[in-house]
Amino acid sequence: MVTTTSAGISRRQFLAAGGLAVAAGCLVPKGLFAQGDDVLVPNAFKEAATAKVTVQTLRRNISVLYGAGGNIAVLTGPDGKLLVDSEIVTSRANVSAALATINADPIKQLINTHWHFDHTGGNEWVHEAGASILAHENTRKNLSKETRVEGWKHTFPAAPAGAIPSIIVKDDHTLHVNDTTLMLNHYLPAHTDSDISVHFTEADIFHTGDTFWNRDYPFIDYSTGGSIDGTIRATEANLAKVTDKMIVIPGHGAVGSRADLILFRDVLVEIREKVAALKRQGKSLAEVVAAKPSARYDAEWGNLFMTPSAFLALVYQGV
Ligand SMILES: [Zn+2]
């Protein structure tokens, strides 16, 4: 089903093969939450400038690009390229080069799964290249003004005019591009208040945006409507749509399947329940972190953007 890279390859192997293991390691915000420093976003800008971007062909006319930021889906055909998400702004050269290896067709449309900088950073250059940008109304809202993300200790200035989506959806939406039907579904507040999924129906490929991280603890943006319970609800919504035959593109990590989504749901629910029980006993965040309620997953799941203690802090905040 996956033509250029084995679907069975692990994310670690894939990232290592793509030369990203070192870059991902540099993104880990060691001590970020303890120090309260604005570290993660500046580091991500720096790492994305040199991080390799690799292409994996999936099914039919759809590929995925892996780089330092969010995964980009690419739909090709007579209407030109359609992208789902646009990575970190500093990855422009390497994203452009990767797109050129697919074909020389222009980028005509871009869909943002949500407003975060690692999914919308390329909006301005993609728009300049000739693409229209579609997103949920809250993506436009959050990009149109200065927006602080407390979890990253970072304040984002309003995006440039060319980066602002001009085609706005408020709820579910369907479009037809390149002989393909795209069904867009809006989530209730989950990872942010602006999350949408994209289902390429003929190829049966489902891009979840950041409501799903494959074998990594997810970031949750409480500053713009996200929560641990909303993230779990979104995972249940994904499971209600995703079948055993679908290819699932997560916001971060390698493409996966329904089984990976079930695992993600189970890990989130287990850690949420353990943290909630400790908090009910009156434990402080430091005491919860010291109790290591996520220990059995930390070696595998705590390596990308989120350290185990940073993830536990986000769970603790919401229970
Ligand atoms: Zn995000």
Transcribe 91-139 into DSSP letters.
GHHHHHHHHHHH-SPPEEEEE-SSS-HHHHTTHHHHHHTT-EEEEEHHH
CA–CA distances in Å: residue 23 to residues 29, 108, 198, 279, 317 = 12, 30, 28, 35, 29
Determine the distance separating the centroid of ligand 1 and the alpha carbon of 70, expressed in angstroms: 8
Closest by Cα among 109, 106, 85 to 166? 109
Determine the distance separating the centroid of ligand 1 and the alpha carbon of 6, expressed in angstroms: 26
Dist. CA 315–CA 270, nearest whole Å? 11
pLDDT digit string (tens) for the chain, length 319 residues: 333 333 333 333 333 333 333 333 334 444 434 446 899 999 999 999 999 999 999 999 999 999 999 999 999 999 999 999 999 999 999 999 999 999 999 999 999 999 999 999 999 999 999 999 999 999 999 999 999 999 999 999 999 999 999 999 999 999 999 999 999 999 999 999 999 999 999 999 999 999 999 999 999 999 999 999 999 999 999 999 999 999 999 999 999 999 999 999 999 999 999 999 999 999 999 999 999 999 999 999 998 788 999 999 999 999 9
Q: Tell me what pLDDT residue 36 has.
A: 64
Determine the distance separating the centroid of ligand 1 and the alpha carbon of 191, expressed in angstroms: 7
Rounded to whole angstroms, the maximal C-alpha distance in the chain is 60
Determine the distance separating the centroid of ligand 1 and the alpha carbon of 9, expressed in angstroms: 24
Determine the distance separating the centroid of ligand 1 and the alpha carbon of 281, expressed in angstroms: 31
CB neighbours (10 Å) of residue 283? 17
Determine the distance separating the centroid of ligand 1 and the alpha carbon of 219, expressed in angstroms: 7
Phi then psi for residue 154, to 5 deg, are: -135, 140
Task: Say if CB 13 and CB 56 are below 8 A apart.
Answer: no
Determine the distance separating the centroid of ligand 1 and the alpha carbon of 213, expressed in angstroms: 10
Q: Tell me what pLDDT residue 275 has.
A: 98
Q: Tell me what pLDDT residue 109 has.
A: 98
Q: Tell me what pLDDT residue 1 has.
A: 34
Q: Tell me what pLDDT residue 63 has.
A: 98
Determine the distance separating the centroid of ligand 1 and the alpha carbon of 99, expressed in angstroms: 22
